[in-house]
Structure formats: structure tokens, C-alpha cells
Structure 1
Amino acid sequence: MNAQFVLLEQESLLHITGPDTLKFLQGQTTCDAAAVTAAQAVVGAYCTPKGRMVCDFLLGQLGEEHYALRLRRSVADVAASTFGKYIVFSKADIAPERSDWQVVGIWGESSAQALSELGIDVPGGRYQSTAGEGWLLVQLDDEGHYLEAWIDMQEHSAHYDRLRQALQAGDANAWNGAQIRAGIGRVEDTTSEMFLPQDLNYDVTSHVNFSKGCYTGQEIVARLHYRGKAKRRAYPTVAATTEQPAAGVALYTAGKSQSVGTVVNSGRDGDQVLCLVSATREGLQQGLRVGSEDGPLLEALPLPYVLED
């Protein structure tokens, strides 16, 4: 059975509770937070007033008036600090120190079947969710091959034990590689406040809702969407190197000293090193190189979705 799991230690859950939680997030983030229920999660980002992303997240509901933002652990402190400046005006509380809930990645063509055999109700579509006492399960794709389980490891660790017994142990790098092939970029500490949402294709991957009301950075993001054209886009690539480039490393083309892009994330698929990059179209066509104009070459992989521009 092709179904793997891994505890995603690079991920963190930022808990927010209270009756005004969704109203607060609706006015601060790019997504339609009002759409979140126990059966529906959403992806989004928090931007500076200049439209640069502090963090990206997956927002889910853990209980009555209890929500969590799944984001990179490396940006959790800055995200909590930024949200904390404004949440004091709402009937909501943020808990940046909580570590009781953990994030588990589940992937493979048999994932949905394996979870169903454990008696777990599997969501039926992308970003749909199911929940129970001490757990939340979110589907990340249309087919049910990629899911995340958020589990209360202090009070309900038995849920994790069941996954360990039924699924094959996987590797976080392999999970990261799968997300890169899916064209889903993540904001790291070294790239926080570097990218516009369009730089990571977030206008295509449902991270930005263009019909909702105002939010921080909305004017910049909307103007680029309706009146402009993104200078850089995100592309999955395979690197001609055995070392994984770090997020934030600049990209170049042969013979030119001006950067044409940035490494967003890296991972592995077997012996291959995969990188998601944000780069100009011209740079991608000419051949991207990591770190310098004579650095390791990146070979473009197909995107699983269409960039209309």
C-alpha cells in the first residue's frame, strides 16, 4: 500500500481563539476567512502594507471558536508578533507558545483508502476537512493523495499511534519534494517580506480571494492582479547538484551578474534535489543557475496548473 506519513517538525500551529477570530483574520489576510468551518479550511497569506508576504498559512477550525494557522515554524514568532499588534482590538486571543498540537503529513495514492480503513472520515475535496476530538484532517489536493493531520499530541496521542501502525514511515524531504512538484510555495524566515503573492502563484493556487473586502496590502496585490503583470512566477525545478539550496539564495543566468530569481523551497525526490523557484520567464528560458552565474543548473519541471499570463 502506497501511503506514507511523517511528523512535519518544520511546521507550527498558531492558535487563535474567541468569537472575533474569523472577523479579525478576514481584515488582515488574503483569504476568505469567513468560509472556514469544521468541514472547510482555506489557504492564505499575511502581507505588509506594501503587499510583501510575512507568512503563508493553512487555516483550519479545531473546535468552537478555536482556530489554527499552520505555517512554517521559522516564521511563527514573527507572525505571532505581527498579528498580536492588532488582535488586542478584537475579542480574540493568540497563543504563540502552544506546542501541544502537531502537524503530520500523509501522502501516497493509497492515503485515502488507508485512512478509511482506520475508520477515519476522509474529506472529499481540496482544502475540505474532517475533525474529531483532538484531531483535524485536511485534504490538500483533488484526489486525496496529500493530506495533513493536526493532532493534539498531549491529550490524544493515540491518533498518531494509529497512523504509525497503519502507514509507512516517510521522510520530510520527500514531503517537501512532493509539494514542490505540486507548485505550492512556502514562505520561510529567510524570505519573509520578500515575495508578493503573485511571485509564488498565490493568485492561482487559491491563496488570494479577489472578491473579499479590504485587508493589509490589498491595494498593491489587487492592482497587480487587475492592472499589471507579475514580473516573477514560481516554477518547480530539478537541480544539478547533490546539495539542497537554501531558501532565499539568488538565481542567475550564465554570463550575467544580475539576479533573475530566488530559491523559495527545496526538497528531494529520491536522489533528485528539487527546488521551487520564483524567477522571471526569461531567466527560466535561458537557464537558471543557483548562487552565481556559473552555479548549478536548474532544469524546469512542468507546473500542474496553468499560469494565464
Structure 2
Amino acid sequence: MADTKDTDAMNNWLNFLAQQGATINDGFATSFGETPADYPELKATLVDLSDMGILSLEGPDTKRFLQGQSTSDTSQLNKETSLPGAICNPKGRMLTSYQAIEPVLDRVLLTMHRPLVETTINNIGKYAAFFKTTLNDVSEDYRLLGLSGPDCEPLLAQLFDTVPQAINQLCIGEDYLLLRISSQQFLLIVDVAVAEKHWLRLSASFKPVGIDYWQLQSIRAGLAQVRVETLEQF
């Protein structure tokens, strides 16, 4: 359960988005005035991904532990390469899907549907006692932003030192992680303290839109995500 500090931080973030023109429903920015009729004209968009959270695994045995609990070959995980994957129950049904990132040695971040962070810790945390690794929900330490569209890459090149060229490639900046998850979609992870700065900088070039647009682009790119409502259904 989120503590008061985390709740206040999220409320402050949602209030900030509302000041930027967002319509907030059920804790998400669902629109910035656009409708589905506008979607074909959108070329470079910025989306708040508050429906996503982050599970942190930290310690010298982290990658070995994750290797045994997931579908990922964690030996391929490094500071330049992220990995998609899933954690399954003993019957092979998915408990969560994720994008794994190794920002520093012996620490891995898994981005996933936010409600599944806690359930994943409960499901695999009992096995962590046999490894030198610690699992924590760090969702409130970061903000996740989605950037997409055919004009996205050249605009990102104007704002960041390096831009991921290949799918799953990761670029690490001073206060951000930028990864490419499809041909026209990028995920930006920033510390909560600098999230507003990054949003304002990006929104000067990218059109802010609601989360429905991002989800549509993910479907078109063939990116499936296990969500709390589809837990153990696949």
C-alpha cells in the first residue's frame, strides 16, 4: 500500500499534468484535448505512463536470481541492452511481463503494469532468500514517459545526446534512461525530482496525449503487456 508521501507525490504529479491541459480520470491522464479522430494526424507524441511501475532487484546475485525466475537470458542484459520478458507461475502462465534494464552493475529495473509490482514481489520474493538480492517497489522514485510517432526519432536527437537505434537498445543519461521498445516508440524513465523539467522540455516539441493513444500504438506494434486483469490468463 502506498504511504502518504507517495500518494502526495503522485497527486502533485497529476496536478502538474492537469495544469498542462490533461483530463485526469481514475489517476491517469486520459486526454489532452485530443480525440480518436485526431490520432491519424499525430506525428510525435508525449504520454504519461502512470499505469506502469518499477520493480527493483539489487545485489550481486540479481541476474542469476532473475535468470531462474523469468524467460529472459539475463547474460544479455547490460548498460546498452534492455530485455523484454515475463515471469510465470509453475504452470507456465504469466504473472507479469516486463522490460528489464540494468542501469548500474548488480541492479536491474523491471518496468511492468503498476499493480503487478507488489504481486510479483509476493510471488518470487520468497525465493530471493537464497540469493544475494533485494526486491523493492520503486515506482514512486521515477516517472515513466512514452514518446511515439513517425517524427519521434529526429526530435529526440535534438534533445538527447544519443538516441537508441535498435529495438531494446538503451541509452543512459545523467538523469534519465531512454530505451526503444518498437520502431516508433520510446520509453523515457526519469527521476521523480526532474520529471516536470523533462515534461516541459519535451512538450515543446511533442504533442501531449492521453494514455489510450500509447496503448493503441503498442497494440499496432505487437507489444503485449500482462495487466492485472489478464494475470495468469496467458
Alignment TM-score > 0.5, same fold: yes
CA contact under 8 A between 1:151 and 1:160: conserved in structure 2? no
CA contact under 8 A between 2:89 and 2:95: conserved in structure 1? yes
Whole-angstrom distance in 2 between the partners of 1:113 and 1:53: 36
Whole-angstrom distance in 2 between the partners of 1:102 and 1:85: 28
CA contact under 8 A between 1:18 and 1:93: conserved in structure 2? yes
Q: Show CA shifts across 1:192-241 (max 9, x none).
A: 1121xxxxxxxxxxxxxxxxxxxxxxxxxxxxxxxxxxxxxxxxxxxxxx
Structure 1 counterpart of 2:230? 191
Whole-angstrom distance in 2 between the partners of 1:134 and 1:64: 17
Q: Percent identity?
A: 28
User: By how many angstroms is 1:125 displaced?
Assistant: 0.4
Whole-angstrom distance in 1 between the partners of 2:194 and 2:208: 23
Matched, 1:103 2:144: yes
Alignment of 1:12-161 (within 5 A): 12-141=53-182, 143=183, 145-154=184-193, 157-161=196-200
CA distance 1:70–1:98, shift in 2 (3 Å): closer
Whole-angstrom distance in 2 between the partners of 1:152 and 1:43: 22
Alignment of 1:231-270 (within 5 A): none
Whole-angstrom distance in 1 between the partners of 2:159 and 2:45: 14
Q: Show CA shifts across 1:144-202 (max 9, x none).
A: x111011111256533432233321122101001111222221111221121xxxxxxx
Aligned CA-pair RMSD: 1.7
Aligned residues: 193
Q: Which residue of 173, 177, 197 corresponds with 2:216? A: 177
Whole-angstrom distance in 2 between the partners of 1:13 and 1:98: 5
Look up the SS of the partner of 1:25 in the other structure: helix
The code of the aligned residue for 1:22 comes to K
Look up the SS of the partner of 1:140 in the other structure: strand
Structure 1 counterpart of 2:207? 168
CA distance 1:163–1:176, shift in 2 (3 Å): same
Greater relative contact order (Cα < 8 A, sep 6+): 2
- Unaligned 5+ segments in structure 2 are 1-41
- Unaligned 5+ segments in structure 1 are 196-309
Whole-angstrom distance in 2 between the partners of 1:66 and 1:133: 17
CA distance 1:100–1:157, shift in 2 (3 Å): farther
CA contact under 8 A between 2:144 and 2:189: conserved in structure 1? yes
Between 8-17 and 62-71, report the one with greater CA deviation. 62-71
Whole-angstrom distance in 1 between the partners of 2:172 and 2:156: 13
TM-score (norm 1): 0.59
Q: Which has the higher helix share?
A: 2
Structure 2 counterpart of 1:268? none
The code of the aligned residue for 1:91 comes to K
CA distance 1:66–1:134, shift in 2 (3 Å): farther
User: By how many angstroms is 1:132 displaced?
Assistant: 1.5
Whole-angstrom distance in 2 between the partners of 1:157 and 1:111: 20
CA contact under 8 A between 2:172 and 2:178: conserved in structure 1? yes
